[in-house]
Structure 1
Amino acid sequence: MEFLGYGAQDFMYTEKMETFSQFTTNAIKRFDERTVKAHFEYMSNKLKQASKVEAEYIDVYYVESLMWDIKDKKAKQWGWSLLPNNLRALYREMWGDSDF
């Protein structure tokens, strides 16, 4: 991956981003509004100020795995209702319009 401009330490960051996404997903499953809103606000603000590489990390390692294992349609709908528009746009780019 060095040829793409990524170093070995970058893989540690991808794991952290995916873990943070799973923490958000778990909070959605619990309907933990305070945590979900805090996570979404943080990531939405980060995306607004992100470099190209940072935006790619947010897209691929946070948004793409967000809500991946939620089976409860109500929980997904609830989580979606809290998702900021800039993160929604990334989600739609990957998964299309929501089916929940």
Structure 2
Amino acid sequence: MKTDVVIYNLLHEITAQFPEVKALLSIYDEGETTYKMEAFSKATTHAFALGNVEQALRYLNYVAKKLINAEAKVIEHIDVYYVETLFWGASPHTIALGWPLVPESLQTLYINFHGKAPLK
């Protein structure tokens, strides 16, 4: 199915571009694409929590660029499984550090779902 292929390609590209997350994503079966995308989101939040802003920005900027001219299934995976999970369970310090650095397109998706920015 074409929509599945675009998601598999996206996840393959993520692990190729960011090999440090490959082990994290590989704990899920190949078909568990939603969990893999959530794991990538959690890796972004975790990078902020560790103060690795540069790494978190690489992840965020990659995802924001993927939104541009993306197929509907890719947009859905980014919106529902990456953006909605950002800062889940994060400390106020992590949110204060990371939220202002989230690209506007991703902030918009986050606020559209949650109704507001993450609590600081």
Quickly name the TM-score band, shorter chain normalised: 0.7 to 0.9
Q: Does the alignment pair 1:46 with 2:66?
A: yes
Q: Which has the higher contact order (CA 8 A, sep 6+)?
A: 1
**Alignment partners' CA distance in 2, 1:91 and 1:40:** 13
Given candidates 50, 53, 70, the residue that maps to 1:33 is 53
The structure 2 residue matched to 1:23, chosen from 43, 53, 57, is 43
When residues 6 and 37 of structure 1 are mapped into structure 2, their CA distance, relative to the original with a 3 A threshold, is closer
Q: TM-score, normalised by structure 2?
A: 0.71
Runs of 4+ aligned structure 1 residues displaced above 2 Å come to: 9-12
Q: Please tell me whether residue 75 in structure 1 is matched to residue 90 in structure 2.
A: no
- CA displacement, residues 73-99 of structure 1 (integer Å, 9 cap, x when unaligned): 121021101100000000001111223
Provide the residue aligned with 1:89 in structure 2. 108
Q: How big is each residue's C-alpha offset from its partner over 1:25-66, in whole Å with a ceiling of 9 and x where there is no partner?
A: 100111211111100110000011311111000001100111
**How many angstroms apart in 2 are the aligned matches of 1:6 and 1:51?**
11
Over the matched positions of the two proteins, sequence identity in percent amounts to: 33
**Aligned partners of 2:36, 2:60: CA distance in 1, in Å?**
16
